Amino acid sequence: MNKVKQIIIEEISKLADEGVGDKYAERKFNIPDDQELNYQRQTASAVQTPEMGKLAGYIKNYGTGRVDINEPIFVNPQNLSKFEPDVRAVTDKNGNLYVALNDGNFTHGQFSDAVKVPSVYYLNTLTWHRVGSTNKFTLADSSEEYVDDERLALSTPHKRDYITKEVNSTLNAAKRKNPQFEFSLETYYDGNQVRKIIKEEIEKYTIREEFENGTLYGYHCTPCENIDSIKLSGFKVGTRNMQGNGVYGFYDLRGGSGNAAVGYGQRHVNTKHYCIVKFKITDFSNILILKKHVAEEVLGDKSDIMSQFDKLYGGYDNFYEKLRLPFLKPEYVTANDKEETKQNIIRDFERNSESDQKNILWGYSARDIVWDLDGIIFNGEYGLQYIMKNTNLMIPVGYHEVNYTDKLTVSDLIPF
């Protein structure tokens, strides 16, 4: 995979426009252009046939640009001839296989909610990707940790044996229930993951260009009635506290993971007409940056996680004593915990994935005091995300109006 990534990096080093990147990916790697694929989905409806299995539910695909299109999910299909390549799937403890008809901008977590199977964070629910157009399924990222030797090695022998037993039980149930398909505990780098690499590399170049001027931009979703107040007085921290107290923002307006700010607004702003405020940040002196390549651009040779802890907390020891030790249950206070936690944090930062960055945010500290900082930048469900506690650092520059009563429309930027 490293060789593939290197080729991709070399080939797209001059690309910074997403539209050009989409067309390039379609030509070079046979990865469909989102806009063209969405058009095809909007102009052609799938006809259900018995071999597709039983209709189990629907899930919103926020990449379609249409709010009246729900992607169907089928359970226990006989074959996959009508299903798109690389689609997501989930199996439950009874071996039932749920498969999305089309690939799209939704997560496995949202998928499992749509068909009412236990959360993807339970061992008896495994998440999968179809391997291209084949009859083979391999593990998706959200279940990869159950077979990751490095992570399993950090568990106690008893816990490790329990995880392995439960995963194999769920795997074997799927094989018995759906013998026409192959299930493998290997992880598969499908077209979406290659595309993810392409977009991440484009993001690197875009951030590098922006930060030459000492600025990063972001987007915040809000009811349009708040626009005048934000223009006059700036942002205020609200009551939403899903991932910690602060103003939530997103690096991308739309596209990529979860359809970024537009997708978040569709899910969480309780109105069919809302606004997305564009802001800029120029002061990063008290902001923790967990996404590695962003940290490297913004912080230079002081970008590694322990250097950031030195600057923000006066060193790892202070972090541990203030944000971890007081909240540990007595049975977890061991002589080795301090050093093991440090090595785990370093490892998770270097691995640079969404789940690893969430480990740093909420796995090693007390969430309610989310870090006595101005803000945090990390890789989340909607791509690169911000949680800003010091809203004075967020300078509003304009807004987009979003309507999705019928067809999703996003206006051009309206400057303040």
Instruction: Select from 133, 118, 73, 127 the least CA-distant residue to 98.
Output: 73
The total number of residues shown for the chain amounts to 416
Q: Which of these, 262, 127, 284, 309, lies nearest to 211 by C-alpha position?
A: 284
Out of 138-147, 213-222, 359-368, least confident range:
359-368
Distance CA 252, CA 210 (A): 13
Calculate the alpha carbon distances from 144 to 68, 161, 253, 293, 410 in Å. 33, 16, 29, 23, 36
Arithmetic mean of pLDDT over the chain = 79
Lowest mean pLDDT among 2-11, 223-232, 312-321, 373-382: 2-11
The per-residue pLDDT for 346 is: 92
User: Higher-confidence residue: 65 or 184?
Assistant: 184
Residues 20-61: pLDDT tens digits? 444 344 444 444 444 444 444 443 345 688 899 999 988 877
- Integer Cα distance of 69 and 62 in angstroms: 9
Average pLDDT rounded to a whole number, residues 279-303: 92
Residues 53/74, Cβ–Cβ less than 8 Å: yes
Query: What is the percent of the chain with per-residue pLDDT over 70, rounded to a whole number?
Result: 75
- What is the CB neighbour count within 10 angstroms for residue 245? 16
pLDDT number for residue 219:
94
pLDDT at 132 over 80: yes
Which two three-digit tokens encode residue 362? 């909420």
- Predicted TM-score (pTM) of the model is 0.64
**φ and ψ at 148, to 5 degrees?**
-80, 115
- Neighbour-count burial of 32, counting CB atoms closer than 10 A to its CB (0-12 exposed, 13-18 middle, 19+ buried): middle
pLDDT at residue 43, rounded to an integer? 38
What is the pLDDT, as a whole number, of residue 356?
79
Taking only the tens place, the pLDDT of each residue in 182-207 is 999 887 554 555 556 666 666 676 67
The residues spanned by each domain of the chain are 46-186, 196-415
Q: Indicate the helix (H) or strand (E) that contains 217.
A: strand 216-222
What count of other Cβ atoms lies within 10 Å of the Cβ of residue 305?
21
What letter would DSSP give residue 257? G
Whether the predicted pLDDT of 17 surpasses 50? no
Nearest Cα to Cα of residue 250 among 205, 274, 216, 224 = 216
